[in-house]
Amino acid sequence: GAGVSQSPRYKVAKRGQDVALRCDPISGHVSLFWYQQALGQGPEFLTYFQNEAQLDKSGLPSDRFFAERPEGSVSTLKIQRTQQEDSAVYLCASSLGQEAVPLHFGNGTRLTVT
Amino acid sequence: EDQVTQSPEALRLQEGESSSLNCSYTVSGLRGLFWYRQDPGKGPEFLFTLYSAGEEKEKERLKATLTKKESFLHITAPKPEDSATYLCAREGGSQGNLIFGKGTKLSVKP
């Protein structure tokens, strides 16, 4: 596909469950980012990969959040022991080179924790 | 704390009624100011990047401008299809770490 693809589109989890969110960046894009967007807010940075290296994870809100990109392409954001405050849209973005902008966003995964 | 503040929060226009959205930021040494459009249920779509005061960029009915403290997104003769939330962001501490405002929700009525 031409754009960033995220799956699933929607995820409902019971509090305490683990979830895994997938991101397929645009083919050949070196840089990959995860953002979290709460309702009515702008996206907030979570973490950044350049190829398979995680260069910045300063935005991850707790050690329950973990992201990986083992082969420098597909990335997974994992949230362990989900809490209600984790409910949000999780956006993935990629960019062509080491120059990170402009970012090209996917349509996100809406996570609802009940 | 470095902030990006957008105003107004919501704006309702009649088709053809031109207006401007504001984005103010509190940081010295701006590395880039970005405008995105976000439709409901979609991810943000890149519109413009501005790097220096006085810079202007245009795309169809949209024009973005930048001063030392704020950016404006001017919408000329808007159409209903311009209805969306417009997000402003500046580059934060590391590459790709964009700090977004809360957005301006624009509604254009025919």
For A37-69, the pLDDT digits (tens) are: 999 999 999 999 999 999 999 999 999 999 999
Torsion of CA A6, A12, A18, A24, to 10 degrees: 0
Domain definitions of chain B by residue range: 1-36+92-110
Nearest alpha carbon to residue A87 among A27, A30, A12, A6: A12
Say if the Cβ atoms of A45 and B98 lie within 8 Å.
yes
pLDDT of residue A3: 93
- C-alpha distances (whole Å) from B100 to each of B16, B36, B50, B86 are 28, 10, 15, 11
The burial class, CB within 10 Å (0-12 / 13-18 / 19+), for A33 is: buried
Residues of chain B short of pLDDT 70, as ranges, are 1-2, 28-29
Q: Which residue of chain A has the CA closest to B49? A: A102
pLDDT of residue A98: 65
Average pLDDT, chain B: 92
pLDDT at A1 over 60: no
Q: Does B81 touch chain A (CB under 8 A)?
A: no
State how many domains chain A has. Answer: 1
pLDDT of residue A100: 60
B56 vs chain A: nearest CA distance in angstroms?
17
Question: How far apart are alpha carbons A26 and A5 in whole angstroms?
Answer: 8
Contacting residues for A58 by C-beta, under 8 A, at least 6 apart? A45, A47, B93, B94, B97
pLDDT of residue B95: 72
Taking a contact as any Cβ pair under 8 Å apart, which residues of chain A between 61 and 90 contact chain B?
none
pLDDT at A97 over 80: no
CATH code for the domain of A9: 2.60.40.10
Out of B44, B97, B102, whose CB is closest to A56? B97
User: Domain range for residue A94?
Assistant: 5-113
More confident residue, A96 or A70: A70
